[in-house]
Structure formats: structure tokens, C-alpha cells
Amino acid sequence: MERDLVITQRLVIPAAELHWRFSRSSGPGGQNVNKVETAVELQFDLNRSAVLGEFRRQRLLERLGPQLVNGCLRVAVAEHRSQWQNRQLALVRLGELLREGLKPPPKARRITKPTRSSTRRRLDSKKQRGQIKQQRQRRPSMDD
């Protein structure tokens, strides 16, 4: 059952670096709930991983910092009634978290200034709107 977790073509986390914990799950399941440990907790220690290079480790620590507990990334799943399904879902979620954490940061926004013509168009439309509102306020006189 133990299988490696493929993050990218160049990054595969061996099953030996993934630590599993199982517990009884709450929720539906009948008698199964009281006797089978279906809830799954998957932990991956970023600091002790042999497959992560220093650059990847630093990027993950920066991007996933709030989600880490003592340098460990933890995923808990208790959605399904079977342990096998919960294990599969935990692997998928851990993979998604790591892929998201390894993405490069977005490019910084380049500050731009509106062009003269766009500023002029904006002001002209504001003036035109103001004139329309002024015309609505005028009351017709008795001479009209």
C-alpha cells in the first residue's frame, strides 16, 4: 500500500518520509465508527526530508509557514467511511499543498500612471453627468 508521492516529474517524496497516524472517526458509519480507525493524519517533515533541496525547503517554509507545526506539514482527513479512501485523499491534498508552495511568487505589479487622454475622457464624462443632473434640478417657470 505504501507508495511514493509524486509532486512533479523531478520531485518524488518517498513513502518512508511520510508519517501516518490513524484514529477513530466521528460521523456516519454505524458500528464501524466504534471499532475501525478510519480517520487519517499524514505528516511530512520539511526539515528532515532528504529529497528537498535547500532552495525548495526555504520556499516551502516561507509559503507554508502558517500551516507548519515544528517544521511538519500536517493533513488530516476523516471524510469517508473507509481508511483507504481517506489515505488517498490525504495524499492528494498533501501533493496539492506542496505543489502550491513550490510555485514561484507572482511578479510584482508595475506601477503605472493613467494617460492624459484617459484622464481627460474621465473628467469630460464626469462634467457631462453633472450637467445632466443640473438640468434635472431646474424647475420650469410659468413663462415656459
pLDDT in tens, 63-86: 888 888 888 889 998 888 888 889
What secondary structure letter does DSSP report for 64?
S
- CATH architecture of the domain covering 5-102: 2-Layer Sandwich (3.30)
Global pTM value: 0.68
Residues 53, 96 contacting (CB under 8 angstroms): no
Neighbours of 41 (CB within 10 A): 16
Question: Which pLDDT value is given to residue 113?
Answer: 94
Question: What are the residue boundaries of the structural domains of the chain, listed by start?
Answer: 5-102
Please give the C-alpha separations between residue 124 and each of 134, 137, 139, in angstroms, as whole numbers.
15, 20, 25
Q: Please name the residues in contact with 141: beta carbons below 8 A apart, sequence gap of 6 or more.
A: none
Q: What ranges in 7-115 are assigned the alpha helix state H?
A: 32-35, 54-63, 83-102
Encode pLDDT of 101-137 as tens digits.
889 888 999 999 999 999 999 999 999 999 999 988 8
- The interaxial angle of helices 54-63 and 83-102, nearest 10 deg, is 100
Question: Which pLDDT value is given to residue 130?
Answer: 94
